Structures are given as C-alpha cells and as structure tokens.
Structure 1
Amino acid sequence: MTGLSRLQQAIARHSGDGFCATAIPRLALMRSEKPSNASASVFEAWLLVVAQGSVRMLLGTEHCELAAGHYAVTTVDLPLSGRIHQAGATRPYLGLALSLQPAMLADVLLQMGEQARDLPPSAGMASGTLCTQLLDPLMRLLELLEQSHDIAMLAPLIEREILYRLLCGPQGAMLRQLALADSRLSRISRAIARIRGTYIQPLRVGTLAHEVGMSPSSLHRHFKAVTGMSPLQYQKRLRLQEAHRRLANHQDSAARIAFAVGYESASQFSRDYRNVFGIPPARDAARLRHRLLHGDRLD
C-alpha cells in the first residue's frame, strides 16, 4: 500500500461530511461525495492537502488546481474562491488542513539556527507535490486520532516536524517571512488584518502604510505580490464576499446590503458583484435561496 493510499484510508476513517475539526489542535479533515459550487472565503495560514479527488481555487486572476497527492500553503488571510472539482460516492474528495502558527514557525527557525533577515516579496499562496518526508509525519499525526492518549504529548512534536519539512522545502522562504516579526510579509499580514477589521470604512492607503511602517508605493507593490491584488481591490473583495454571504442568508435587499458592507453606490455594487460572481446580486440572491430551500446543485 502506498503512502498516499494510507493517507486516504486514514482520512476516510476519521472524517464526516464537510469540514470537520479533530481532537488534534489545529487539524481538520475534509470529505465530500459530490462536487461543490464555487464558494468564496478568507483563508488564513494553512497547509491544505488533497488526498483524493481535486479542488480548484482562484486568487484574484490566478487559478490553482490541486489533485490527489498535492498540497497548498497559504500564509496570510487570502480571499480565495474554491470548489471541489472531482468527487463521487465511491471515491469522495478527501483532504486535510493544518493551521500554521507563526509563533511555532519562529521557534522552529530558531532551533534551525536561522537568523532574522528580510526577504524579497513572495506570493501568499504556493502549491507543491507531497513527498515522503512530508507524507510520513502527516500520516503519524493522523494515526494519533486512534491513540488519543498520545495526542497531548506527541502531536506538538509531529507538528514541529511538519513545519520543519515545509521550511526546508520550496515554500520555505515564504514561511520564513510569516515567522519573522519584522519581515515584509509580516507587515503585509498586519495591513491585511487592519483592512479586514475595518473593511466597511473608507480605506486610506497612505494611513495604512504608515501604520505598518512602509511607504505607500512599497505597501502597494508588496501587497500585490502577496495577495495578487491592490489594498483597495482586497477591500472590495472582502465587501463582496460578505454581501454574498448576507444574500444567501436572507439578509435584506441587495441595495441595503450594498450600503451595509461599505458601498456608497448600489449601481457600482451591482457591477462589481457581477464581475466577481458572474450574475447580478438580486438574481444571485434568488438562486442562492432556491438552493438552500431545495438542495439543488447550481453550477
């Protein structure tokens, strides 16, 4: 039996339908027996592993498809749109997600003898192929779900090994920036947190740049390198994703929601919404509510 087959069986044994937390801190499992519609959400710093099936993700204009045996690493809060592409009753989509903690990454770096240094800007998401060095500790982490008395002692040690393997791999430079408090990526992460916390309010890029210790031009350049968007585009995407969520949850009319998420013009909101979701907000609200009522799958 291959390592990937063992990973598939372990996830299948311990996962339910959808995204499920586990007894191991920061570890979640995913399972679906059918393809899903595209859904937009903000991904924090995660290691996302596909064991079976495939998932398609969109960040800005960049597409990424993860097939079985592949993984993605995200290092900042990214507004991603994704959908499960390949899944079935006999071969469901199976995956796992491990939340990445900057403090733990920094501690591993110190143990590795790394010195703090700034690095060139890098994207906030990267993908790779599972290798034996990464697959083995992932399997050992999952096996702890059958030995719950060992989780408290062994899970942190195995998690550190996983982080070490990631730091030594192709995504190492990107993760080093996440761990180093004064790196450009850490500053962009602080800028992102500021935008997320105040996305309804007007965004003044100059003020934001000053808060994170960067010039406006440097903030714009590095922000786009990490997220694929400018700060203003990122704020707009957050507003539209929140509007999409509210429309699905029967929360008021499209025009009222537009103003509630920070838009000053309902017509501009409608244009932006259609550009992102491919359908006007009022029609999308009717479609989303029909799906919730009848359980239909809409492509």
Structure 2
Amino acid sequence: NSMQSIEKDAFSVNQREIEAHQVNLQHLCRICGGSFKNDLYKRSHPVHGPVDDEMQALLRKKERKATSWPDLLNKVFKVDVRGDMDTIHPTNFCHNCWSVVQRKFSNVPCEVYFPRKGTMEWHPHSTSCDVCGTSSHGLKRKKQDPSPQGGKKLRIIAERARRIMYARSQKQVNSKNIMKKITNCKKIHLSTKMLTVDYPADFVKSISCQICEHILADPVETTCKHLFCRLCILKCLKVIGSYCPSCRYPCFPTDLVDPVRSFLNILNALAVRCPVKNCHEEITLGKYSRHLSS
C-alpha cells in the first residue's frame, strides 16, 4: 500500500508540473520564445486557424493565396505548426513576429527584425525545463543566500560569455567566407581596387555587394534594403536558405527588386580601370560590359 501511495503521489506531482508547464507555455511566443508580458498591450495571435482581417486584406491586395496562419508561418519562418502538441508547444505567437509577417508581405523598409537567435526549439517538460525555470518568462526563482563562491561563479560566467562572443564573431567570419566560396565570382565581378578614385570607405561599402564585396554587378535590393549582385544573392538563397545574408530577415527570390534609378545612375557613372592585361583603360562602369565585348 505504501508503494502504491508513493507512486500515486509522484504521478500527482508530475501531472501538476505538466499542467503548470502548459500554463506557462500560454505566456510564450511559439516562434521566438519571447514572453507576451514584454508587450505593453499583451498582444498575441493564434498559430492555428485563419488569419485576422488586417492580414487578410493585405494578402488580398498582394494577390497571395495563403489564408491560414500555419501556411504563413511556414512560408516566413520555415516553422511547421501543424504537428504541434499543446503539452510541448505554445499555441500563440507574439505581435513582434506578427509584424515581421506583415512587413514581409508589405515590401516596406524593415524596422522590426526577427531575433538573431532564430526560431525556438520546444521540448517536453523535464527537471531542467527552461520554460518553468527561467525568471525572464515571468516566474520568480527562490532567493538563495549569498555564498562566498558567488564571485567565482560570476567570473566563470563572464569568461564563458567572452568565449561565446568570440566564437560567434569567428562564426560570422567563417559564414562570410563560405558565402564567397558559394558565389565564386572573383573572375566575373570587379574588385573595388579597380576604382580610379580613392573614395571614402563608407561610400565604397555602399556600392559593394554585401556577399562578395566586389563592385555591384546587376544589383538587386531586398525588402530589408540590403544590396547584392543578382547572381550572388540568388546562389546564396538557393544554398543557405530563404533569408538575407546580411541581417537574416526572411527573403525570397521574388522579393528582389531593382534599386532606385538615382542610385543606379551614380553606380554606372563610377570610373574603373579595365583589369584586362595590357589594357588599363579608364571607363565608366555603365560602359564596362560594352568595352569588354569590343
């Protein structure tokens, strides 16, 4: 009887923990994991079912066929919510992620960016559950008495943070090198060293591809206002996925547009030296292709 009583109590405690876990999930965003408590108006949107009237009007205006949240969330964030379980996954997403979806289909300059950490991975409740044990999600931890080892722990945490930041910076450098290997455009795109004028570094960066760092060739602009060579961005979208290589904002080939004409006029008027051996003639970028073919 005592064994049965212990097992029954353990089951009861476990069941209560799972129920509490499920309640905590209702305060979190399914996509980014953020807490709805961080929103002044506590706004949230269901991940299942039809889109709201405002989003529906926008989709109709843009002649988009998707009408349900699962379709849109999968298209924008590559998150499939159709197989979600209420005991593991939140059933709502935050207004910030809603704004990302809206801006994605509005083609307006981006002021709301998706968190760099990417989408959340959700797991069943456990003894080391992040959902139930993190104070940032609205639950208070028990206060602990200060210990003499507290300072040592802080130093260890700070050192670990420095290592993580260094690893991330190295990862970004490696990522850029990988993208340059993907594009492999050294022989077809002009280096900024071919410019005949020593322009300020910021100006040179503005007329350079954000991937290969060569002078923009057949430039295109993303929804988030970043510029790339058409060939470079199309290759990267195909290999690394549907997001901007500069800021990781959702991006698809159909989103790419030509930059404004005034920018193209400035770009085409730049003087460059011909890289062909024994030529070194100075021509404007707009006439470079014609010069090569002649």
Fold conserved (TM > 0.5)?
no
After TM superposition, the score normalised by the length of structure 1 is 0.29
Higher strand residue share: 1
Higher-Rg member (1/2): 2
